Amino acid sequence: MNIDEIKSFMMQLEAETKNENREKLEKPEVRVQRAAAEENMKQVKCYRCNRMGHMAKDCPLIEFGAWFCYYCQEVRGHKGDNCPSAEAQANRARGKR
């Protein structure tokens, strides 16, 4: 092992030890609350991508500027309130072409 590998190994070991110590020091009720919060997040539905497990503010689609369009029923570059398909359908219903 060279000096860089030893440093890397020691840093990794230190990080693991800190995590283990934090878990040991954490009160049982805090652990229960954390577990309950994680379980509740599984039941949260994202209004950006229409999937379970996260909120829109944490959605991976933010990076791409994409949304789940409720009119198109798929991920697109627009939201339902800006859907060209919905606009066209509304115009046809009003007698416009």
In the predicted model, what is the mean pLDDT of residues 7-19? 71
- Token digits of residue 14: 């230190």
CA angle 7, 9, 31 (to 5 degrees): 120
Q: Domain of 69?
A: 3-88
pLDDT tens profile 58-96: 999 999 999 999 999 999 999 989 999 887 677 666 666
Our measurement of the distance from residue 14's CA atom to the centroid of its chain's CA atoms, rounded to an integer in Å, reads: 29
pLDDT for 65 equals: 92
Are 50 and 68 spatial neighbours (Cβ–Cβ below 8 Å)?
Answer: yes
Number of separate domains in the chain: 1
pLDDT for 43 equals: 84
Claim: this prediction has a pTM higher than 0.85:
no
pLDDT tens profile 25-66: 667 776 777 777 667 777 889 999 999 989 899 999 999 999
In a domain, 95, yes or no: no
CA angle 55, 60, 61 (to 5 degrees): 100
